[in-house]
A and B are shown apart, each in its own frame.
Chain A
Amino acid sequence: MKVEVKNLCFSYGNTPIVKNVSFTAQEGQLVAVLGANGAGKTTLFRCMMGFLKAKQGEILLDGQEVGNIDRNAFAALAAYIPQTSVPVFNYSVYETVLMGTTGQLSPLRAPGKAQHETVREMLRLLDMEALSERGITRISGGERQLALIARALAQKAKLLVMDEPTANLDYGNQHRVMQRIRALADNGYCVLLSTHNPEHALRYATHILALQEGKVCAFGKTEEVLDSTLLQSLYSIPATIMEIDGIGRCIVHR
């Protein structure tokens, strides 16, 4: 899986949101998209998923332009994981994950044996088997986020696009979910996630894409790009990165 974004521009009416963004990502990478509120993170993701049509520029998934890929083929290439919200209908975790297999079916078909097998495999992968019959609105936010990740995995897509996967999660769940996501990248998925927490980026991301007012202000390997200058320009607070013995690099601010 290779993602190439070239000179992407997008505006809502006359307001430009994404300005000339270019970057590439591939399997094995976890790219954290950083930026203040309104920097264009969500809009970038929505363009990449084909929900929004870019004005200018290209988005290629494995060399194919996003706009030219048909729906089912797209579902097999890229999966989208929205922010956790409590759904209206209390589907079981199993049913929720099963929905991810829909792209593998023709319109009038319901999931069959192969799809059920996929669901069991993904639930096993994320250690969620014990929750499979629980209602999705009755489990914790962290568990719900993992269920949505399992649903994305059931799509069998290699690109996972996650919009703030740790928003609304408590401290422990944030780290448990991030560890799972990093493990997926290590197992050959290409993960793109937006986050408001630079510590998550520092600890778990292989690459950083920093956006400021719709433009790329930094892109590269985490250890090369994420430094105090970037943190200060992104968040306007005096933060710095310190090496702590036995723990590694940490963000601290005065």
Chain B
Amino acid sequence: MRKTELSKPRSYRMRFAALSAVLLAVLLGSAMLGRFPLSLREIGNLLFSGLSGTEGTWKDGAQKVFFEIRLPRIAAAALVGAGLSLAGVSYQGMFRNPMVSPDILGASSGAGFGAALAILLGAGYFGISLIAFCFGLAAVFLAWVISRFSKTNQTLAMILAGMMTSSLFSAGTSFVKLVADTQQQLPAITYWLMGSLASIKKTDVLFLLIPTAIGALPLFFLRWRMNLLTLNEDEAKSMGVNTGLLRVIVIVCATLLTASGVAVSGMIGWIGLVIPHFCRMLFGYDYRRLIPGSVLFGAAFLVVVDDVARLATTSEIPLGILTAFIGAPIFFYLILTGGASRES
């Protein structure tokens, strides 16, 4: 008995170490790969000189490629992946349903509509992100307000209200497409909705970093209490949890993560749904491990997917297509095996 109790935490620590190592390797590998390959030594020199301000030696143009293009893109992929998978794992616990994804309350559809509208109105790249972000927040707020009027089960009311606002904003997006100019705007909207990190700049990373941090930190600190949110409402309350407040915090945080991710990268599905299942296989069900685990796993996953998007063919493959092509078979596997299961 003693032995198993002692060996458990250590094995999870090993898994965290391994996953962190994988993420680091993925980040470094992604920084090296590209149409302008960089060696490990060059990346080291670039990073060192970037941090210390001293001169180093590298190929012509390497500095520009690394700091202006590659690093922002990798950072954005990591942040979006981590954010979406964190939002997914949080919602799955809160709604007590492992098949829930971060767009359940309409954040993605809202952001999609915002982006389409912004493109129609001729906004610039940053404007599109900002408007998409605001509409993502607005969609979830609308769903939340509607659910407050319901007299039935709050959780169910929220899911139904989310479905409603999602379909409303999807219809809005279709309408915008209908009236958009077919030569320029319609392709731009369509391409945006498929998801891409191709035109990421340094400022976008900053724009992404702030809401991601604001969303992720409370979830990280409340990770123990998230476990009790997966229980029935009465049980959680009787154990001293303010379920109403905790639920609002989770919704606000997950919405910030989802809306900012979608606003910068476009519609990327499946990550928030599939990554939490892998994390449960690796780390069990305890949110003390699931929260950090899904951040590491989600980041590594989207960075790899984005590498495929930019390297597999001569033109960019939209991320939404890739994550669905990868996510759907994985989901099929989960359906067959009944999801993440503990053997004991």
A110:B1 contact, CB within 8 angstroms: no
Within 8 A of B (CB), among A91-135: 91-92, 95, 99-100, 102-105, 107-111, 129-130, 132-135
Inter-subunit contact A99/B98 (CB<8 Å): no
> Is B153 part of the binding interface, using a Cβ–Cβ cutoff of 8 Å?
no
Judge whether B230 and A89 touch: CB under 8 Å: yes
Among candidates A51, A92, A99, residue contacting B239 with C-beta atoms closer than 8 Å: A99
Whether A88 lies near B98 (C-beta < 8 A) is yes
Q: How far is the CA of A134 from the CA of B242 in the complex (A)?
A: 28
Instruction: Tell me whether B238 and A49 are in contact (CB under 8 A).
Output: yes
Residues of B within 8 A of A79 (CB): 238-239
Chain B contacts for A130, CB-based, 8 A:
1
Measured in the bound complex, the distance between the Cα atoms of B238 and A151 in whole Å is: 11
Say yes or no: is B240 at the interface (Cβ < 8 Å to chain A). yes
Chain B residue at smallest Cβ distance from A80: B238
Q: How far is the CA of A226 from the CA of B228 in the complex (A)?
A: 39
Interface flag for B247 (CB, 8 Å): no
A80-B234 in contact given A103-B240, A135-B342 (Cβ < 8 Å) = yes
Q: Give Cα A79 to B288, complex, Å.
A: 24
Shortest Cβ distance from A163 into B: residue: B234
User: Chain A's nearest CB lies how many Å from the CB of B25?
Assistant: 30
A82: Cβ under 8 A from any B Cβ: yes
CA separation between A130 and B3, bound complex, in Å?
A: 12
A72 touches B240 (CB 8 A): yes
With A87-B230, A138-B342, A138-B344 given, is the CB distance from A102 to B224 under 8 Å?
yes
The size bracket of the interface on B is 20 to 34
When each residue 95-123 of chain B gets 1 if its CB lies under 8 Å from chain A and 0 otherwise, what string results?
01110000000000000000000000000
User: Given A51-B237, A82-B232, are A134 and B344 neighbors across the interface (CB < 8 Å)?
Assistant: yes
B8 contacts the other chain (CB 8 A) = yes
User: Which residues of A does B touch, CB under 8 Å?
Assistant: 46, 49-51, 71-72, 74-75, 78-80, 82, 85, 87-92, 95, 99-100, 102-105, 107-111, 129-130, 132-135, 138, 151, 155
Contacting pair B237 A71 (CB below 8 A): yes
Chain B residues numbered 214-253 whose CB sits less than 8 Å from any CB in chain A: 221-225, 227-228, 230-232, 234-235, 237-242
| B98, B242, B284, most chain A CB atoms within 10 A | B284
- 8 Å CB contact of B286 from A91, A104, A134: A91
What residues on B are CB-neighbors of A82 within 8 Å?
A: 232, 234-235
A107:B5 contact, CB within 8 angstroms: no
Residues of A within 8 A of B228 (CB): 99, 102
Smallest CB-CB separation from A148: which chain B residue?
B235
Contact partners of B93 in chain A: CB under 8 A: 89
Contacts of A74 in B (CB 8 A): 238, 240
10 A-B pairs with CB atoms under 8 Å apart are A50-B237, A51-B238, A71-B242, A72-B240, A91-B286, A92-B284, A99-B227, A104-B240, A130-B1, A132-B1
Q: A residues within 8 A CB of B167?
A: none
Q: A87-B230, A89-B230 are in contact. List 10 more A-B contacts (CB 8 A).
A: A51-B237, A80-B234, A89-B285, A91-B227, A95-B286, A100-B239, A107-B225, A129-B1, A133-B344, A138-B344
- B241 touching A46 by the CB < 8 A rule? no
A90 in contact with B341 (CB, 8 Å): yes
**With A87-B230, A89-B93 in contact, is A132–B225 under 8 Å at CB?**
no
A80, B221: Cβ atoms closer than 8 Å:
no
Least CB separation from B339: chain A residue:
A90
Q: Is the interface of B mostly helix, strand, loop or mixed?
A: loop
> In the complex, A104 Cα to B241 Cα: how many Å?
11
Q: Cβ of A99 and Cβ of B231 under 8 Å apart? A: yes
In Å, the complex CA distance between A184 and B4 comes to 29
Q: Are A111 and B224 in contact (CB under 8 A)?
A: yes
**A163 CB to closest chain B CB, in angstroms?**
9
The answer to whether B230 and A88 have CB atoms under 8 Å apart is yes
Closest 8 CB pairs of A and B: A103-B240, A75-B240, A80-B238, A110-B224, A135-B342, A72-B240, A108-B221, A89-B285
With both chains docked as a complex, state the minimum distance between the C-beta of B250 and any C-beta of chain A, in angstroms: 13
A217 CB → nearest B CB, Å: 27
Residues of A within 8 A of B231 (CB): 87, 99
Q: Hey, which chain B residues are within 8 Å of A51, CB to CB?
A: 234, 237-238
Please measure, in the bound complex, the distance between the C-alpha atom of A91 and the C-alpha atom of B228, giving whole angstroms.
11
**B8 to chain A: closest residue by CB:** A133
The one of A71, A107, A132, A135 in contact with B222, judged by C-beta atoms closer than 8 angstroms, is A107
Partner of A49, one of B98, B234, B341: B234
Q: Is the CB of A88 within 8 A of B241?
A: no
A71 near B240 with CB under 8 A, answer yes
Inter-chain contacts of A102 with B (CB < 8 A): 224-225, 228, 239-241
A90-B285 in contact (CB<8A): yes
CA distance A130 to B224 in the complex (A): 24
Max count, chain A CB within 10 A of own CB: residue among B1, B224, B234, B240: B240
- Distance in angstroms from A130 CB to nearest chain B CB is 7
Residues A155 and B239 in contact, CB atoms below 8 Å apart? yes
Q: In the assembly, what is the distance between CA of A88 and CA of B227, in Å?
A: 12
**A79–B93 alpha-carbon span in the complex (Å):** 23
Complex CA gap A103/B224 in Å reads 12
For B225, the chain A residues whose CB sits under 8 A away are 102, 107
Instruction: With CB as the reference atom, state the residue of chain B lying closest to A94.
Output: B5
B342 and A90 contact, CB distance less than 8 A: yes
In the complex formed, the residue of A with least CB distance to B95 is A88
Chain A residues, CB < 8 A from B284: 91-92, 95
Q: Closest Cβ of chain B: how far from A75's Cβ, in Å?
A: 4
Scoring B97, B224, B237 by chain A CB atoms within 10 A of each residue's CB, the highest score goes to: B224
